[in-house]
Chain A
Amino acid sequence: MIKEGHFGFMEAFSVMAIVLVTKIFYGSPMALIKYLGTAAWYGTLISLVGALVFFTLLYLLMKRFPQEDLFQIFETVTGKIIGKALILTFGVFLIYKAGINLREFTAVLKVYSMPFTPPSMIMLPFLIVVAVMAYVGLEGIVRVAHIFFYLVFGALVLIILLAIPSYDFNYLQPILGYGLGKTVQTGLIRVAAYDEIVLLAIIIRSLQGLQVFKKIGYLTLILGGLTFSVCLICILAAFQYTVGGEHLSGMYQLSRAIYFTRFFQRIESIFLFVWVISSVITVSFIFYISLNAYSRVFNISNHRPLILPFIFLTFMAAFIPNNFAEIMEIHLRVLREFSSVIFIFIPVMVLGLALLRGKKGVETSGKA
Chain B
Amino acid sequence: MGKLKKITTLMAICLICLGLTGCYDAIEIDEEVYTLAIGVDKGVNNVIRVTFQYATYKEDSGGGMGGGDEESGEVSGTIVSTVEAASLLEAINIMNSAVNRQVSLMHAKMLVLSEDFAREGVGKYIEPLTRFREVRELMRIVVCKGKAQDFIKENKALIGSNPSKALELMFEQSKNSGYFPDVIFADFYVDLLTPYGQPVAAYAGVNDFKQLDEGSENEEPPLKTEADIEPGDIPRTGGAKREIFGLVVFDGDRMVGTLSQYETRFFLMGIGEFQRGFFTFIDENEPELIYVIEVQLGRKPSISARMENEVPVIGLKLKLDIDIISIQSRRHYENLDNIDEFESKLQAYFEQGIKDTIKKTQEEYNADIFHFGKKVAGNFKTIQELEDYNWIGHYQEAEINVSVSVDARRSGFIYGATPIRSTESKKGVEADQ
Instruction: Contact check, A113 vs B18: say whether CB atoms are below 8 A apart.
Output: no
**A-contact 0/1 string along B357-377, CB 8 Å cutoff:** 000000000000000001101
Instruction: Contact check, B190 vs A243: say whether CB atoms are below 8 A apart.
Output: yes
- Complex CA gap A123/B275 in Å reads 49
The reply to whether the CB of A326 lies closer than 8 angstroms to some CB of chain B is: no
Shortest CB-to-CB span from B292 to chain A, Å, is: 28
The reply to whether the CB of A153 lies closer than 8 angstroms to some CB of chain B is: no
The reply to whether the CB of A173 lies closer than 8 angstroms to some CB of chain B is: yes
Instruction: Contact check, B24 vs A175: say whether CB atoms are below 8 A apart.
Output: no
- Complex CA gap A113/B106 in Å reads 12
Chain B residue at minimum C-beta to C-beta distance from A111: B133
Instruction: Contact check, B24 vs A178: say whether CB atoms are below 8 A apart.
Output: no
**A-contact 0/1 string along B235-253, CB 8 Å cutoff:** 0000000000000000000
The reply to whether the CB of A38 lies closer than 8 angstroms to some CB of chain B is: yes
B25 contacts across to A, CB distance below 8 A: 113-117
B22 contacts across to A, CB distance below 8 A: 114, 117
The reply to whether the CB of B412 lies closer than 8 angstroms to some CB of chain A is: no
- B-contacting residues, A164-182, CB 8 Å: 168, 170-171, 173-179
Instruction: Contact check, A174 vs B383: say whether CB atoms are below 8 A apart.
Output: yes
Shortest CB-to-CB span from B299 to chain A, Å, is: 16
Q: Which of the candidate stretches A20-28, A82-90, A96-104, A251-259 sits at the interface with the other chain?
A: A251-259
Partner of B17 from the list A116, A128, A257 (CB cut-off 8 Å) is A128
Given contacts A115-B25, A117-B25, contact A125 B14 (CB under 8 A): yes
Instruction: Contact check, A259 vs B138: say whether CB atoms are below 8 A apart.
Output: yes
Q: Which of the candidate stretches B56-64, B89-97, B193-201 sits at the interface with the other chain?
A: B193-201
A242 contacts across to B, CB distance below 8 A: 190, 193-195
Instruction: Contact check, B13 vs A170: say whether CB atoms are below 8 A apart.
Output: no
B172 contacts across to A, CB distance below 8 A: 262
Shortest CB-to-CB span from B99 to chain A, Å, is: 19
Shortest CB-to-CB span from A209 to chain B, Å, is: 31
- Complex CA gap A129/B381 in Å reads 49
Given contacts A135-B7, A265-B138, contact A125 B133 (CB under 8 A): no
Chain A residue at minimum C-beta to C-beta distance from B189: A243
The reply to whether the CB of B165 lies closer than 8 angstroms to some CB of chain A is: yes
- Complex CA gap A122/B17 in Å reads 9
Shortest CB-to-CB span from B168 to chain A, Å, is: 5
Chain B residue at minimum C-beta to C-beta distance from A133: B14
The reply to whether the CB of A340 lies closer than 8 angstroms to some CB of chain B is: no
Shortest CB-to-CB span from A168 to chain B, Å, is: 7
Instruction: Contact check, A174 vs B381: say whether CB atoms are below 8 A apart.
Output: yes
Chain A residue at minimum C-beta to C-beta distance from B165: A262
Instruction: Contact check, B7 vs A173: say whether CB atoms are below 8 A apart.
Output: no
Partner of A177 from the list B24, B133, B190, B382 (CB cut-off 8 Å) is B382
- Complex CA gap A171/B25 in Å reads 37
Partner of B21 from the list A37, A125, A135 (CB cut-off 8 Å) is A125
The reply to whether the CB of A324 lies closer than 8 angstroms to some CB of chain B is: no
Partner of A117 from the list B24, B186, B384 (CB cut-off 8 Å) is B24
The reply to whether the CB of B380 lies closer than 8 angstroms to some CB of chain A is: yes
B381 contacts across to A, CB distance below 8 A: 174-176
Shortest CB-to-CB span from A360 to chain B, Å, is: 41
Partner of B380 from the list A115, A174, A240, A262 (CB cut-off 8 Å) is A174
The reply to whether the CB of A59 lies closer than 8 angstroms to some CB of chain B is: no
Given contacts A37-B383, A173-B374, A176-B381, contact A240 B21 (CB under 8 A): no
Shortest CB-to-CB span from A235 to chain B, Å, is: 12
Partner of A243 from the list B18, B193, B377 (CB cut-off 8 Å) is B193
- Interface residues of B, dominant DSSP: helix
Instruction: Contact check, A178 vs B384: say whether CB atoms are below 8 A apart.
Output: yes
Instruction: Contact check, A173 vs B194: say whether CB atoms are below 8 A apart.
Output: no
- Complex CA gap A174/B383 in Å reads 6
Instruction: Contact check, B378 vs A132: say whether CB atoms are below 8 A apart.
Output: no
- Complex CA gap A241/B195 in Å reads 10
Instruction: Contact check, B383 vs A241: say whether CB atoms are below 8 A apart.
Output: yes
The reply to whether the CB of A239 lies closer than 8 angstroms to some CB of chain B is: yes
- Complex CA gap A125/B12 in Å reads 11
B7 contacts across to A, CB distance below 8 A: 132, 135-136
A117 contacts across to B, CB distance below 8 A: 21-25
The reply to whether the CB of A158 lies closer than 8 angstroms to some CB of chain B is: no
Instruction: Contact check, A253 vs B374: say whether CB atoms are below 8 A apart.
Output: no
B414 contacts across to A, CB distance below 8 A: none
**A-contact 0/1 string along B14-38, CB 8 Å cutoff:** 1001101111110000000000000
- Complex CA gap A114/B385 in Å reads 42
Instruction: Contact check, B196 vs A128: say whether CB atoms are below 8 A apart.
Output: no
- Complex CA gap A175/B189 in Å reads 23
Instruction: Contact check, A170 vs B374: say whether CB atoms are below 8 A apart.
Output: yes
Partner of A114 from the list B24, B136, B138, B380 (CB cut-off 8 Å) is B24
B377 contacts across to A, CB distance below 8 A: 170, 173-174
Instruction: Contact check, B378 vs A129: say whether CB atoms are below 8 A apart.
Output: no
Instruction: Contact check, A171 vs B21: say whether CB atoms are below 8 A apart.
Output: no
Partner of A128 from the list B14, B133, B136, B165 (CB cut-off 8 Å) is B14
**B-contact 0/1 string along A106-143, CB 8 Å cutoff:** 00000111111110011011001101100110000000
Chain A residue at minimum C-beta to C-beta distance from B19: A125
Chain B residue at minimum C-beta to C-beta distance from A245: B193
Given contacts A176-B382, A179-B384, A262-B165, contact A168 B374 (CB under 8 A): yes
Give 5 new A-B contacts, CB below 8 A, not counting A115-B25, A174-B386.
A124-B17, A125-B14, A125-B21, A243-B190, A256-B136
Q: Which residues of B contact A (CB under 8 A)?
A: 7, 10-11, 13-14, 17-18, 20-25, 133, 136-138, 165, 168-169, 172, 186, 189-190, 193-196, 374-375, 377-378, 380-386
